[in-house]
Copies of this chain bind each other. A is one copy, B any other.
Amino acid sequence: MTELNYTMLCDFYELTMGNGYLLSGMDKKTAYFDLFFRRVPDEGGFAVACGLEPIIDYIEDLHFSEADIEFLRGKGVFSEEFLAYLKDFKFTGDVWAVPEGTVVFPNEPIITVRAPAIQAQLIETYLLLCINHQSLIATKANRIARAAQGRAVSEFGSRRAHGADAAILGARAAGIGGVLNTACTITDQLYGFPATGTMAHSWVQMFDSEYDAFAAYCKCYPDSTVLLVDTFNVLKSGIPNAIKAFDDVLKPLGKRPLGVRLDSGDITYLSKKARKMLDDAGYPDCKIIASNSLDEYIIRDMIFQGAEVDGFGVGERLITARSEPVFGGVYKLVAVEDESGNITPKIKISENVVKITNPHFKKVYRIYDRENHKAIADLLCVHDEKPDESKPLTLFDPNYTWKKKTVTDFEARELLVPIFEGGRLVYKKPAYKDIVAYAKTEVESLWDEVTRFENPHNYYVDLSQKLWNIKNDLLNADR
């Protein structure tokens, strides 16, 4: 389709503020913004960060075309000075971010941007929509993949995705979350996340009979036969016709069927009956795949009730994160640097206490137990601090400061890595398969208690004493 300039995919207020910063002389200031989220969807214990790669491409491509500027002039609210500024606009700032696949927690920066105020403001919307969408899907996919307890999960949801990007990048994110493959052909082409698929009900309906349809499919795909057996009646016609087609077409060729798929009805019940029929017919190796509005809760229940299912096709409830389709990432100003390099920390206070921000230019350290390599806590520090691994480290709850814990024999890993320095890309985008592998090790670094679907242990995200003091002073300041 036509190529869009995503620079224009911004909230209009980023442009009115940009114009205002220029007219007010605030464009000389350097702004620090943190991108973070406030709670994990589905009451989960952690999220899987995803969405950095398209952000990198976007920042490298930032520009306003002549047509863009002409459109903005037509809005009648921008100064000619600002429109002239947009002509040569490019990103010259610094960006730090956690690599895709990193497990992340509420109220810690996933991305920190340091840039001239107008630039830092303009990229807000695109950064948020990438991280919010893709982290949402990666996090949901990870829940679903874990619910399947080692059984294969396939992503099936393109048709219910919120547009083309949601399908393509949603499938990409699902793989990072731990799903095995996808139905989305173009995601395989673009990222190497394998696409698979066999037949729809229409294949069965297109032929004169279900048996004819099955036999034709076995002839076309003797090495990868998976038959959809619920077009008419699973137990009365679907499974018997499948067995007959296996016997008539595959057996003479010396081939074995891969599986059958159930897409409606009470799948737990049907799968047990179908298993028995397939076993009795000499096809104990024929797998049973289930689909039909599945998510982590239904998969868990099916397994609990002994469903004979070897793999799950998951559609709308993964690709839209149906149970909670919003990842509430925000992008907040945390500090302002003047032309002499003095940094002033900034805070947003709110009647809603959870909306109060962690101020200042920060670093995030993940504290690991050296003995078992499990993550203990994340520690937000002022940018010039670093935990001293040679001494015991006392962590305290930022709200209930009397709740303390001292850790020894720990390792402190810095989570945010440099992506852009002075507008120059300094990060090598990892290969897709490496992101998938990294995400797996990240989830493994968590205690089981943090990964529960319900009532997970609350992982600690603490503030250093220095940062806590700065925040407390800002909260108590008169204004």
Chain A interface (Cβ < 8 Å from any Cβ of B): 1-6, 8-17, 19-21, 23-24, 26, 29, 31, 33, 54, 57-58, 61, 68, 71, 75, 77, 117, 121, 124-126, 128-130, 132-134, 136-137, 156, 158-170, 183-186, 188-190, 195-203, 205-207, 209-210, 216-217, 219-221, 224, 230-234, 237, 264-266, 270, 316-317, 320-322, 325-329, 331-333, 336, 346-352, 355, 479
Contact for A128 among B159, B185, B217, B264, CB less than 8 A:
B159
Give A336's nearest chain B residue, CB to CB.
Answer: B206
Contacts A158-B125, A203-B20, A479-B232; is A9 near B197 (CB within 8 Å)?
no
Give A231's nearest chain B residue, CB to CB.
Answer: B348
Q: Is the CB of A9 within 8 A of B128?
A: no
Residues in B neighbouring A169, C-beta threshold 8 A: 163
Q: Given A132-B159, A264-B355, 7 other A-B contacts at CB below 8 A?
A: A11-B159, A12-B188, A29-B206, A121-B200, A129-B159, A230-B351, A234-B351
Residues in B neighbouring A19, C-beta threshold 8 A: 220
How many Å lie between the Cα of A349 and that of B204 in the bound state? Answer: 12
Question: Can you pick out 21 interface pairs between chain A and chain B where the beta carbons lie within 8 Å of each other?
Answer: A1-B6, A1-B58, A12-B196, A13-B198, A17-B199, A17-B202, A17-B203, A20-B199, A31-B202, A77-B221, A77-B224, A117-B206, A159-B329, A162-B166, A162-B170, A163-B165, A165-B165, A201-B332, A205-B346, A316-B326, A316-B328
Q: Which 10 A-B pairs have the closest CB atoms?
A: A163-B165, A13-B197, A12-B197, A265-B351, A128-B159, A162-B162, A162-B166, A202-B333, A8-B186, A325-B325
Residues in B neighbouring A325, C-beta threshold 8 A: 162, 320-322, 325
Query: Smallest CB–CB gap between A23 and chain B, Å?
Result: 5
Contacts A117-B206, A234-B351, A265-B350; is A20 near B216 (CB within 8 Å)?
yes
Residues in B neighbouring A166, C-beta threshold 8 A: 129, 133, 162-163, 165-166
Contact for A220 among B24, B217, B232, CB less than 8 A:
B24
Residues in B neighbouring A203, C-beta threshold 8 A: 17, 20
Give A51's nearest chain B residue, CB to CB.
Answer: B163
Residues in B neighbouring A33, C-beta threshold 8 A: 202
Contact for A9 among B4, B75, B184, B237, CB less than 8 A:
B184
How many Å lie between the Cα of A196 and that of B16 in the bound state? Answer: 9
Q: Is the CB of B332 within 8 A of A20?
A: no
Give A61's nearest chain B residue, CB to CB.
Answer: B1
Q: Is the CB of B233 within 8 A of A351?
A: yes
Q: Is the CB of B206 within 8 A of A333?
A: yes
Residues in B neighbouring A185, C-beta threshold 8 A: 8-12, 15
Residues in B neighbouring A167, C-beta threshold 8 A: 9, 125, 129
Give A346's nearest chain B residue, CB to CB.
Answer: B205
Contacts A1-B6, A16-B221, A197-B11; is A202 near B160 (CB within 8 Å)?
no
Residues in B neighbouring A190, C-beta threshold 8 A: 4
How many Å lie between the Cα of A169 and that of B162 in the bound state? Answer: 9
Residues in B neighbouring A233, C-beta threshold 8 A: 349, 351
Query: Smallest CB–CB gap between A120 and chain B, Å?
Result: 9
Q: Is the CB of B160 within 8 A of A128?
A: yes
Residues in B neighbouring A71, C-beta threshold 8 A: 188-189
Residue picked from A20, A121, A321, A322, most chain B C-beta under 10 Å: A20
Residues in B neighbouring A170, C-beta threshold 8 A: 162-163
Residues in B neighbouring A57, C-beta threshold 8 A: 1
Give A168's nearest chain B residue, CB to CB.
Answer: B9
Query: Smallest CB–CB gap between A183 and chain B, Å?
Result: 4
Residue picked from A15, A71, A322, A326, most chain B C-beta under 10 Å: A326
How many Å lie between the Cα of A68 and that of B264 in the bound state? Answer: 33
Q: Is the CB of B158 within 8 A of A195?
A: no
Contact for A12 among B195, B234, B266, B350, CB less than 8 A:
B195
Residues in B neighbouring A31, C-beta threshold 8 A: 202, 206
Q: Is the CB of B158 within 8 A of A129?
A: yes
Residues in B neighbouring A197, C-beta threshold 8 A: 11-16
Residues in B neighbouring A58, C-beta threshold 8 A: 1
Contact for A352 among B9, B24, B264, CB less than 8 A:
B264
Residues in B neighbouring A124, C-beta threshold 8 A: 159, 200
